[in-house]
Amino acid sequence: MPAVPAPGGPQHSVPVPGVRRSLPVPPIPGRDLPTSTGSTAVRRVRTPPSPARRRFNRTVFALLALLGVVVAAYGGLYVYGDRALGRVDALVPDGPEVLAPQLQVGAETSLVVTSGLPGRSGLASVSALVAHVAEDGQAVVVTLPPTALSDTPACRAADGSLRPPATEPFADALLRGGPSCLVRSVQQLTGLRVDHYVGVDAARLPGLVEVLGEVDMCPTAGEQQMAGDAVADHLRPGAAGSDVTGAVVGARGQQVLSSTLTAGLAGGALADPLTLARFLSGAGDTLTVDQETSLQDVRSLGLALGPQGESAVEVAALPVAQVGRVATGSDQAAVVVDALATRELFDEVINSGRLPVPEPPAEGQPADAAQAAAPAGGQPAVVADPVPAGTTVTVPPEGVTVDVLDATGTGRTAEIADGLAAGGFRIGARGVEPGAVDRTVVRYGPAALEPARTVATAVPGAVLVETPAVGAAVQLVVGPDYTGLVAAPAGTPVPATAVPPAADEAVRACTS
């Protein structure tokens, strides 16, 4: 028999068939002591931060919180300003009239329309310009005569109806059709794809400037501070009464809009949330944009039109073949666009983002003569002195044919034409001049100075304005200063008041 262990000796458990041995019981916290590992490591006690450290941390957290509040506040102002802008359905980017769209990828074209110009009504109360910004940032601005005839394709009118195609002045496309019709008309003429439509209410623009106090006009030509009232005067017809194409007011409108947007959205107003909020509120009342244009797009347009970029803004007027043309069966004078020169201009803009390089003067022609033949900005050339001392009438009224255009809006065309006929003049076209003039002018071609002097003598206060856009014609454009007619037989002294005032150089200084 096997030996039996003595009592009190070690007894080894014997596995019992069918019974599993239990796992070790984990230690019970608070009752079982941890097994010593023999380690002598000492637990490190964390030193509390110093007072200076605590102040620094609190300052950083406060600055971060303040930064978050500022970012949230300006973000809210941006959203508010963006939503405050008036919206219209205007764009037709896939219109068949857009030429070479693949060449316009990366570039942006904006149509800026100013309405309600001071001192004007009807077609002349509208000013339009096309601003093309190439992919490299070069900006080109072309002013559009509001009375220039253009072919407007079928378009969606402001009331939602489908408007049939029409040949009409640019301004009529807006006034009778709406923004979308004007966009189609501009695309038809230029071939450019209009990406942004920006409408400006000229009556509210001075109030927007007043929010900023003053804006800097022409910073590259010496800063000129301009307040709200001065802005309104700046947008009135040119002093010479010859801005029938709207080129001067168009260029001035570009300056005012660029200066205002730059000062309000990228200048000192950003440092004053209250001023910025008032400016954004005023911008919402003043500006109307298409559905796709954002406040950031408007800001970018203002910066692009300004002179502070690396490249100067190139400005041109739409090439004009004739002004004061009265079509058969119509009583309204219109501007006729030079179709060939216009196509060459916008083809170059589409291809290179630049204006065409002026042709060098012909052999034997001095540079000054070439510039006189094509005056900058589309404005009529002004001869140095069309009425030297002692000048008298050399062509009697019986040898002068004159077109009579009434720009007063009072319907005096027939009265004045009959009065001139009674004085011996032969009357050509009769009509209404929708372009803006602030005084009576006699427009004449380079070869018609002598007959023009006769007309200016018969109309006291009339100013002589030479322009090749009338050809060989002599046009009397009756302005608000018209007082009556006097006899002008041969030998009558030509009044010195017929000398036009000095050309306004303020616009050229900002766009040269």
- Tens digits of residue pLDDT in 196-244: 999 999 889 988 888 888 887 765 555 577 777 788 878 876 555 566 7
In the numeric block, which tokens belong to residue 290? 């298409």
State how far the Cα of 413 lies from the Cα of 331, in Å rounded to an integer.
Answer: 10
pLDDT of amino acid 52: 76
Q: Which residue has the higher pLDDT, 438 or 65?
A: 438
Counting other chains too, the contacts that 165-168 makes at CB distance below 8 Å and 24 or more residues apart are none
Where are the domain boundaries for CATH 3.40.630.190 in the chain?
Answer: 86-319
pLDDT band at 246 (very low <50, low <70, confident <90, very high): confident
Name the most confidently modeled range: 249-263, 346-360, 381-395: 346-360
- pLDDT at residue 503 greater than cutoff 70: no
Amino acid of residue 475: Q
Query: What topology does CATH give the domain 86-319?
Result: Aminopeptidase (3.40.630)
Q: What residue ranges in 348-483 does DSSP mark as E strands?
A: 401-406, 426-432, 441-444, 463-466, 474-478
3-state SS class at 132 = strand
Average pLDDT (276-304) is: 90
- pLDDT at residue 508 greater than cutoff 60: no
pLDDT of amino acid 434: 85
pLDDT of amino acid 13: 56
In the numeric block, which tokens belong to residue 98? 């857009």
Which percentage of the chain shows pLDDT scores above 70? 77
Q: CA nearest 418: which of 436, 408, 433, 406?
A: 406
Q: How do residues 109-141 score in pLDDT, each as one tens digit?
A: 999 999 988 878 888 889 999 999 999 889 999
Q: How do residues 154-195 score in pLDDT, each as one tens digit?
A: 999 999 999 999 999 999 999 999 999 999 999 999 999 999
Q: How do residues 311-349 score in pLDDT, each as one tens digit?
A: 678 999 999 999 989 888 788 899 999 999 999 999 999
Mean pLDDT computed over every residue of the chain? 82
Which percentage of the chain shows pLDDT scores above 90? 44
Instruction: Tell me whether residue 96 is exposed, middle or buried, using C-beta atoms within 10 angstroms of its C-beta: 0 to 12, 13 to 18, 19 or more.
Output: exposed
Lowest mean per-residue pLDDT among 247-251, 264-268, 371-375: 371-375
Q: Which residue has the higher pLDDT, 116 or 28?
A: 116
Average pLDDT (470-490) is: 92
Instruction: Tell me whether residue 366 is exposed, middle or buried, using C-beta atoms within 10 angstroms of its C-beta: 0 to 12, 13 to 18, 19 or more.
Output: exposed
In the numeric block, which tokens belong to residue 100? 């070479």
pLDDT of amino acid 373: 40
Q: CA nearest 430: which of 302, 332, 289, 294?
A: 332
pLDDT of amino acid 401: 96
